[in-house]
Amino acid sequence: MNEMLSLKPMQMDALREVANIGAGHAATALSQMTSQRIMISVPRIAKMTGAKVVPVTTRLLPDGEGYVVTFYPPWENYPSGDDIADTRRMNEFSEQRVLEMPEQYFWVHKRFKTRPEGEEKFY
């Protein structure tokens, strides 16, 4: 598990994009159910509620025998008041977890499936 992948800047951008897809789907579903615009923001919710943000990951066990759920310590000084820095922190955490166990990541969103002529394919 100590092996690290070497990703190109464009691949890291793609990884960052994918990290936001889940929240986007949730916001879309809520928006359709309520007929209102929904903005989901972990920092905003934490600020409004005073809730601590506790990062969590899941890892599927071999042969579908279950999951290992890992809870990380609550983030200190989060939200910081800087939405960009808070979003970056959240995305960097997600990126690191994907790099730790890329085989666990569900690679369905192929944002860069079409490439300019002569450009390397990602998939």
Domain ranges of the chain: 38-106
Across the chain, how many H-helices and E-strands are there? 4, 2
pLDDT for position 8: 62
pLDDT for position 15: 54
Q: Which residues of the chain have pLDDT under 70?
A: 1-27, 29-30, 38-40, 106-112
pLDDT for position 77: 94
Q: Tell which residue, 48, 43, 39, has the closest CA to residue 87.
A: 43
pLDDT for position 87: 84
pLDDT for position 46: 86
Residue 72 contacts residue 55 (beta carbons within 8 Å): yes
Quote the pTM value.
0.57
